[in-house]
Amino acid sequence: MTYQDIIKRITPELEELIGHLWEEMIKMRTGRADPSLIADLRVNCFGQEFSLKQLAVVSSAGAKEIMIQPWDNSYLEPILASLSRSSLGSGMMAEKNLIRLSLPPLTEEYRKNFLRILSERAEEQRIMIRKVRDRAWKEIQDGENEGTIREDDKFRGKEELDKLVKKYNEKIEEMTEKKKKEVME
C-alpha cells in the first residue's frame, strides 16, 4: 500500500466529519427562522415516534416565523405537544390545519452561549481530524518499517497528509466564521 492509497482512504472520513459538523450547525438557531431547526424534532404520534418532517411540511414564513402544515389534521395535537416540550422558547398559534411558530429575538446570553457551543463543536471535529491524521501517519510509518513505503515517500506522505489536514481545518474555520456572522446579525 502506498502513502497515496492511505490518504485516499482517509479523505472520505474527513469529508464525513465536515458533513457532521455542517449538520450540527444547521440545527443551531441563528437570527433567522430556519425550518431545519425543528424538522428533526421527534413527535410521538399513535404510539410511534416520527420526525416532524415525516408528518408535515415545514417551511419558513419570514425571518422570525416557521409554518408547519401537517399531512393529516390528526397529527396537529401530537405536533403541538412536541413543540411545547422543545427548548425553542417560541410562541405557537394553531389554526385549522396549520401551526405558526414565532421565534423570539435572540438574547445576548443566547448569542454568547451559542458561540461557546459552536466553538466546542468545531474543536471536537478538529480533534477527530487529528486522530484520523495520526492513524494515517502511523500507517505510513508502519509501511516504511515493513519496506512497502520508501523513506522519501514517507516524508512526501507526511507533507500531503499535513496539507490535507490543513485544508479540512480551514473548512471548519470558514464554516464556523460564517455561522458566527449569522448569529451576530
**pTM for the whole structure:** 0.63
Output the tens digit of pLDDT for each of the chain's 185 residues. 788 888 899 899 999 988 888 877 766 655 566 666 666 677 777 777 777 677 777 777 766 777 777 887 777 777 777 777 765 556 777 778 887 777 766 677 777 777 887 888 889 899 999 999 999 999 988 988 888 888 888 889 899 999 999 999 999 999 888 888 777 76
The DSSP result for 25-94, as a single string, is HHHS--SS--GGGTTT-EEEETTEEEEHHHHEEEEE-SSSEEEEEESSGGGHHHHHHHHHHSS---EEEE
> Which domains can be identified in the chain, with CATH numbers?
3-27+107-184 (1.10.132.20), 35-102 (3.30.1360.40)
Cα–Cα nearest to 167, from 135, 121, 132, 140 = 132
In sequence order, what are the beta bridge partners of 100? 67, 93
